[in-house]
Structure 1
Amino acid sequence: MSSGMFRPHGSGDTLACEVPLSPRPPLPPAARPFSLRRLLGFLGPGYLIAVGYMDPGNWATDLAGGSTYGYALLWIVMLSSAMAMFLQVLAARLGIVTGLDLAQACRAHSRPGSVVWQWLLCEIAICAADLAEVIGTAIALKLLFGLPLAMGVSLTVLDVLLVLWLQQRGFRYLEALVISLISIVVVCLGITVAMAQPQWQAVFAGFVPTSRTVLDPGMLYIAIGIIGATVMPHNLYLHSSAVKSRPADPGAGGKKVAITYATIDIIAALALAFVINASILVMAGAAFHANGQFQVAELEDAHGLLAVMTGTTVAGTTFALALLASGQSSAVTATLAGQIVMEGYLQLRIPPWVRRLLTRSIAIVPALFVTLVYGESAIAKLLIASQVVLSLQLPFAIVPLIRYTSQRSIMGSFANGRTTAIVAALIATTIIVLNLVLIWRTLT
C-alpha cells in the first residue's frame, strides 16, 4: 500500500487530515452549577444591612412585647422579618440590574425640583437612626462602666476615627468589623437567653398567630411598634449600593446569577437578625413576664431586672455588651448609608470622616440637650421619637423602590412580575399604614 493511501485509525500513524479538537466553550453564567466558593464571594452586604434590623430601637419594642405578653408576639417578629427580606431583595435587584443605587435611581427618574427635598428627608431619617445608635451606645457605656449618659453621648463621636481607619483599608474590612460585632451580639444574647431559662414549648407556640394576638388592642399596638421598628429606610439605599461591590458577569445571565447569590446572602443575614430580635423578646418573656414584670420597655430597667431575676450579674453584663456591639455596628452602616445618599442625590462626595462627623454631631446635640436639661429619664422618650421620624421617611424609600423595580423601561426582563408587584404593594401599604397608626398613638 502506497504512502498516499488512506490509513485507518489505530494504525499507529497520525492522520495528516485530522483536525485537533478545539477546547469546549465555557458555559454561560446562568448555566453554571451552583458554586459555594462563588457564593462566599457574594456574602457580606447582607450583614451590613442586618445590623439595621437589630439596632437599639428594635430592642425597645422587643422588650416591651416580651415583658407584656410573653412569647405571644413572636409571630409578629417573624412576619416583619419576612417583609424586610422581600424589600431588601428588591433593593439588591435594583442595584445589580441597573447599576444604580436607590438614591441614584431617584435622582435619575425624579423631577429636579423634588430631588433636594427627597435628599433632605432621607438625611433626617439617617440622623434619626444615628440618634438611636448614640442613645443605645451611651446607655451601654453607662451600664458597663457607670459613665453618666451625657459623657457616654459625648464619647460616641470617637467612633469617627474607627470608621475613617476602616474605610481607608477597604470595604471588606468594614464588613469584617460588622460581622464580628454581630457575632458578639449573638453570643451575648445566647448566654442571656440561656440564663433566663425560657419554656421552649411555649416559645414555639408563639410563632403561631391566635385570635387573641390579632384582636387584643394592646397587643396590636406593640405589634405595630415591632413592625414599624423593623424596616429601616436607609437600609434600602445602602443595600442597593453595597451589592455593586460584587462584580457580576456581563449580560442577563450574569445578572441573574448575581441576584441569586445576593438573595441567599440577604435571606441568611436577615434570618440571623430575626433570631436576635426573637431572642430579645424570648429573654424578656422568660425573665420579666414569667416573673410578673409586665411593663419593662426601657433598656436600663431591663439590665437591672435581669440581675435580679436570674440571680447573677452575668446576664445583665452580657445584655449590656450586646447592646454596645449593636449600637456600634449600626453606627458604621448609618455612615455608609449617609455617604451613598449624599452622592446619589446630590452627586456630592466628601471625605468619609467629615460625613461621619457631621451626622454624629447632629445626633449628639439633641441627645446631650435632653440629657442635660430634662435628665436621664427623658432619654427613652427621645429614642421613641427617633423611631417616629424613621417611620415618617419609610414611604419615600419603599414606594420609589417598588415603582422602579416594576418598570420594564428601567429593569427590562428583570422587572417585577404581577404577583411580585402585588405582594410588594401589600407589604408597603401594610407597613405605611401601621407606621401612621403607631405615630398617631405615640403622639396622642
Structure 2
Amino acid sequence: MRKGFSFGPATLVAAAFIGPGTVVTASLAGANYGYALLWALVFSVLATMILQEMAARLGVVTQQGLGEAIRKQVKQPLLRWGAIVLVVAAVIIGNSVYQGGNLTGASMGVAGVIGEQAAWLPIVLGGLAAGLLWRGSYVLLERVLIGLVLLMSLTFVATFLLVQPDWTAFFKGLLVPSLPSGSVLTVIALIGTTVVPYNLFLHAASSAKKWQQPEQLNKARRDLWVSIPLGGLISVAIVSTAAAAFFGKALSIEGAADLSQSLQPLAGDWATWLMALGLFAAGLSSSITAPLASAYALSGILGRSGDLKGLPFRLTWIGIITIGVIIASLQIKPVTVIWFAQVANGLLLPIMALFLVWACNHKMMGGYRNSWRQNVLALVVVLVAVGLGARSVGAALQLW
C-alpha cells in the first residue's frame, strides 16, 4: 500500500453497497448461474470507481454534496423541482425499504450465532445504529465502518476459500462475459447492488468533510482504488461460495440463511459461523450508511444544514431507522423485497449518474472539470445501465 494511504469515505461506500441485499442478490446469482455472472461484478466495480471518483472530486473541489450542487446550480425551475422530488422519493421510499432489509439481515446474522431468531433483534440493532449516528462524529462512524468492512472481507473471503471453488469456472466467469437464459434481471440486480445511486450523495458529502483542499484529491483517489475493489472482492466471494454450494445440485435457496446452513457439509461449522458474522457485519454497516446517506442527500437537496448534530439531519436518519425497524419487526419475508429494490436501483442509476456528469462538467468545478476521457467513460457506464434497465422492463412486461 502506498505511503500516506488511509481508509476514508470510499470505505463508507463499500460498507453501504455490501449489505444484506448484496448477500441475497449475489447468493441467488451464484446458486442459479454458477460463476457465469462474475463478469457483471467486474463491470460493476469499474463503473462504481468511475462514478464515485466524480462524486469525491465534486465534494472535495466544491465542498458541496451532490444534492446541494443540484439545488444551487440547476436554474430551470421545472427541472430543479423534478430533481428534488425524485431524490426525496428515492431516499424516503428506497432507503426505508433497504433499512428494513438491512436490519433483517443483521438480525439473521446474530441469530446464526446465538441459535435463535429473536423478535427484539431488529430493535436492538436499530438502536445500535441510532446510537452511533447520534454521537455526530464523522471520525467515529468512519472507524466503525472500516472495521465492519474488514470483518466482512475476512469472513466472506475465508468462507469462499473453505468451500474450494472450481477455479477454471471461476476465472472464465470473471473474464468472459455471458448471459445465460433468464439472467438479465440478475445482472441488473448485481449492478444495482454495487453501483448504488445514494452512494453518490454519501461520497460527495463525506469527501467534503474529510478533505477541504483540491490538492488532497490524490488521497481521495487512493482511498477509492483500495476500498471499492475490496468491496467488489467480497461480492465475488459471495457469488462463488453460493455457486460451489448450490449450482448444479438439487438444492434451493431463498436467502442468506439457506446459504449459511448449506455450508456445513461442505466446509464444517467454521463456514457457517463465518457466514453468520459476515451477514451481521453487512447488515449493521448498511444500517448505518443508509440513514446517513439519506440525511446527506435530503439536507443537500432541500438546503438544510449537513451538520451531523443538526436537528433536520438527525430527524431524517431517525425516520429512516424507525421505518426500517418497523419493517424488520413485522418479519416480512425480505428476499423478494430486497431483490426488486435492487432492480429498481439499477433503473434509477442512469438518472442520478447523468446529474453527476452534468455537475462535474459545470463551471463550478473550475480546472477540475471532467476531461473528455472521463466523460466518455461515464457515458459508457450510463448507456450500459440504460440498456440493461430497458431489457429488465421488457422482461417484466413479458412476465405480465
Give the TM-score of the pair, scaled to structure 2.
0.88
Among residues 294, 312, 322, which one is paired with 1:338 in the alignment? Answer: 294
What does residue 127 of structure 1 align with? 96
- Describe the superposition over 1:298-351 as per-residue Cα deviations: whole angstroms up to 9, x where unpaired: 2121122112333x2221121011010011111221222122122212233443
Among residues 8, 11, 19, which one is paired with 1:47 in the alignment? Answer: 11
Does the alignment pair 1:280 with 2:280?
Answer: no
Distance 1:47 1:77 in 2: 18
What does residue 145 of structure 1 align with? 114
Q: 1:332 to 1:92 in 2, by over 3 A?
A: same
Give 1:240 shift: 0.6
Does the alignment pair 1:118 with 2:86?
Answer: yes
Please say if residues 228 and 431 of structure 1, whose CA atoms lie closer than 8 Å, have aligned partners that are also in contact: no
Among residues 357, 367, 384, which one is paired with 1:402 in the alignment? Answer: 357
Distance 1:233 1:172 in 2: 24
Please say if residues 57 and 387 of structure 1, whose CA atoms lie closer than 8 Å, have aligned partners that are also in contact: yes
Distance 1:275 1:174 in 2: 23
Give 1:410 shift: 2.6
Does the alignment pair 1:385 with 2:349?
Answer: no
Distance 2:258 2:274 in 1: 15
Distance 1:229 1:317 in 2: 24
Q: 1:174 to 1:140 in 2, by over 3 A?
A: same
Q: 1:298 to 1:347 in 2, by over 3 A?
A: same
Listed as ranges, the gaps of 5+ residues in structure 2 are none
Please say if residues 132 and 386 of structure 1, whose CA atoms lie closer than 8 Å, have aligned partners that are also in contact: no
Determine helix, strand or coil for the equivalent of 1:403.
helix
What does residue 275 of structure 2 align with? 319
What does residue 306 of structure 1 align with? 263
Does the alignment pair 1:358 with 2:358?
Answer: no
Distance 1:410 1:345 in 2: 17
Counterpart residue type for residue 97 of structure 1 = V
Distance 2:394 2:356 in 1: 25
- Describe the superposition over 1:185-244 as per-residue Cα deviations: whole angstroms up to 9, x where unpaired: 11211331222111334322322215xx24x32334422321122211111001011111
- Describe the superposition over 1:2-24 as per-residue Cα deviations: whole angstroms up to 9, x where unpaired: xxxxxxxxxxxxxxxxxxxxxxx
Distance 1:368 1:338 in 2: 21
Determine helix, strand or coil for the equivalent of 1:416.
coil
What does residue 424 of structure 1 align with? 378
- Describe the superposition over 1:20-51 as per-residue Cα deviations: whole angstroms up to 9, x where unpaired: xxxxxxxxxxxxxxx823x43xx311101111
- Describe the superposition over 1:222-277 as per-residue Cα deviations: whole angstroms up to 9, x where unpaired: 2232112221111100101111123444xxxxx2x422221121121001001101
- Describe the superposition over 1:126-161 as per-residue Cα deviations: whole angstroms up to 9, x where unpaired: 223323312211322333334446443333321244
Aligned length: 388
Counterpart residue type for residue 380 of structure 2 = L
Moved over 6 A (4+): none
Does the alignment pair 1:437 with 2:391?
Answer: yes
Give 1:162 shift: 3.0
Please say if residues 405 and 415 of structure 1, whose CA atoms lie closer than 8 Å, have aligned partners that are also in contact: yes
Listed as ranges, the gaps of 5+ residues in structure 1 are 1-34, 250-254
Counterpart residue type for residue 138 of structure 1 = S
Among residues 171, 174, 185, which one is paired with 2:138 in the alignment? Answer: 171
Distance 2:316 2:23 in 1: 27
Q: Which moved more, 1:262-271 or 1:188-197?
A: 188-197
Q: 1:91 to 1:304 in 2, by over 3 A?
A: same
Give 1:438 shift: 3.3
What does residue 11 of structure 1 align with? none
Give 1:429 shift: 2.2
Q: 1:51 to 1:206 in 2, by over 3 A?
A: same
Counterpart residue type for residue 121 of structure 1 = A
Distance 1:367 1:319 in 2: 20
Quote the RMSD (CA, aligned, Å).
2.5
Among residues 170, 179, 196, which one is paired with 1:232 in the alignment? Answer: 196
Percent identity of the aligned residues? 25
What does residue 12 of structure 1 align with? none
Counterpart residue type for residue 272 of structure 1 = L
Please say if residues 160 and 357 of structure 1, whose CA atoms lie closer than 8 Å, have aligned partners that are also in contact: no
Distance 1:432 1:131 in 2: 28
Larger Rg: 1
Please say if residues 67 and 293 of structure 1, whose CA atoms lie closer than 8 Å, have aligned partners that are also in contact: no
